[in-house]
Structure 1
């Protein structure tokens, strides 16, 4: 792996090999970080960027840590694929309200922080589009007539995102990789991402998808949501206001659970959202 820029491609197999042989600090160094690298903390709690909030500063914000309540598992939805992007800042060129997401991963049985776990997140942009699946997330037709907002959405029944089943990994249909990325938890079980507040698409409330890998297994697939008052504030601003007609809110979403809400506070020019994931790291159902 090179040292020239953040977000370079790295296979899942090489990633786990790097964890076992290098530890988190070595892995981050190997995967590189350019001048645009977002806040990422090492296994010692030291920050990669001087301005970043450290893991110690974040600890007090994680309500629910140490409660050993297994995080709800949800469908991964139709737009997941391994994007091979190890980076903290996943915005690329997407415009929107800045959002820093901090996730603490703990073992659901011991309540201990789960270090060296890989956390992936992915979500749509302000117009409801998913990278790698722009055609599908506009309904397969490249957008609404006249270049308006997307009119299509994933299915909401059967094995679709809103149904009780699940879908297989997506084969990407374009080369874009915005709003997708992975990080490795430090010794405190914490990862951080810099992204934008997600937009919406028909049939779903505003959400972020997340997946946790441990010992080369997918041990948690879940989603996180936002308080509707804050959603209303953000959706009224540019560029979100250009995509009008939102039809599904938290109280009408069949995946939403109160435990999926990010704890959000204002931060600089955007927001900070924190949440605890309790993952079944040995996959024994507890």
Structure 2
């Protein structure tokens, strides 16, 4: 892969100066193993069983993951900041069901892959905590991973604790950076992250935040969500099962859109998911 910046504290703002040296390889080779997990039939009729996944499987996931129709833009939420972490494995010490996230970025007008775009993702852990904002995402130590009292209002921004309204970058309140990272798209417009299935917090469905940067511009801020039948299977496992009282599902989440659903297949003892982002790279509204 040429120059490997895995794990370095490299700001995505500094990526653009030498981005040609950061070209990423293709998706990882096939995973091995079979967990024997009971298959799950999703609302779209697909059957999901953790198992080995091949490149062909990923190609099929991408083919069914969307078109170049402009991806819906959402609030960045209250817990975004430039984590200065260019890496594919963002788990650090967080425990949970393995999830491999493959994102393909296209231009919304030409449908062509956007290479050398920077893609960031961030999400909470199995208990609903965000790194860099643990005290804020627990409501100042309220426990259970819930945001401040009353939960976040529409859009995912909490109501108190001195936090922003979801439109400004957060000033981190701790030094942890788990479940945050950035990658640069390859010639096919693809990035991949190794993470865990996200947990939940009060007032929001299970989701991953994502942001796409092109030529130092933020051209897309959106979210990724998951079929509730698979969510239910994962939430019944440790350590997720210790966090009880989930109150918001896809059909009750005001951010949720069908186009935000990641196409998921089983892989080993976890899952692999693919989604296509169509970004307005020249920011002309199309």
Q: Shorter chain as normaliser: what TM range?
A: 0.7 to 0.9
Structure 1 residues 63 and 156 mapped into 2: Cα distance closer, same or farther (>3 Å)? farther
Tell whether 2:138 aligns with 1:143. no
Please give the alpha-carbon distance, in whole angstroms, between the structure 2 residues aligned to 1:203 and 1:158. 10
Structure 1 window deviating more from structure 2 (62-71 vs 117-126): it is: 62-71
Tell whether 2:73 aligns with 1:73. yes
Are the equivalent residues in 2 in contact too, given 1:97–1:234 (CA < 8 A)?
Answer: yes
Task: Give the equivalent residue in structure 1 for 2:116.
Answer: 116
Please give the alpha-carbon distance, in whole angstroms, between the structure 2 residues aligned to 1:76 and 1:206. 15
Q: What TM-score comes out, normalization by structure 2 length?
A: 0.83
Q: Give ranges in structure 1 of 5+ residues lacking alignment.
A: 29-40
Secondary structure of the residue that 1:62 maps to in structure 2?
A: helix
Please give the alpha-carbon distance, in whole angstroms, between the structure 2 residues aligned to 1:65 and 1:50. 20
Secondary structure of the residue that 2:137 maps to in structure 1?
A: helix
Match of 1:160 among 154, 157, 160: 157
* Deviation readout 1:178-205 (Å, 9 max, x if unpaired): 0000000000000000000000000000
Are the equivalent residues in 2 in contact too, given 1:55–1:188 (CA < 8 A)?
Answer: no
Please give the alpha-carbon distance, in whole angstroms, between the structure 2 residues aligned to 1:256 and 1:158. 10
Match of 2:22 among 3, 20, 27: 27
Structure 1 residues 203 and 158 mapped into 2: Cα distance closer, same or farther (>3 Å)? closer
Task: Give the equivalent residue in structure 1 for 2:101.
Answer: 101
Q: Select the structure with the greater relative contact order (CA < 8 A; seq sep ≥ 6).
A: 2
Please give the alpha-carbon distance, in whole angstroms, between the structure 1 residues aligned to 2:259 and 2:67. 12
Please give the root-mean-square deviation of Cα atoms over the aligned residues, in Å. Answer: 2.5
Task: Give the equivalent residue in structure 2 for 1:37.
Answer: none
Aligned residues: 257
Please give the alpha-carbon distance, in whole angstroms, between the structure 1 residues aligned to 2:155 and 2:86. 33
* Deviation readout 1:235-276 (Å, 9 max, x if unpaired): 000000000000000000000000000000000121001000
Task: Give how far 1:11 is off.
Answer: 2.2
Are the equivalent residues in 2 in contact too, given 1:66–1:112 (CA < 8 A)?
Answer: no
Structure 1 residues 278 and 255 mapped into 2: Cα distance closer, same or farther (>3 Å)? same
Secondary structure of the residue that 2:18 maps to in structure 1?
A: helix
* Deviation readout 1:29-49 (Å, 9 max, x if unpaired): xxxxxxxxxxxx42xx486x7
Secondary structure of the residue that 2:62 maps to in structure 1?
A: coil
* Deviation readout 1:202-251 (Å, 9 max, x if unpaired): 00000000000001100000000000000000000000000000000000
Task: Give the equivalent residue in structure 1 for 2:39.
Answer: none
Structure 1 residues 46 and 121 mapped into 2: Cα distance closer, same or farther (>3 Å)? closer
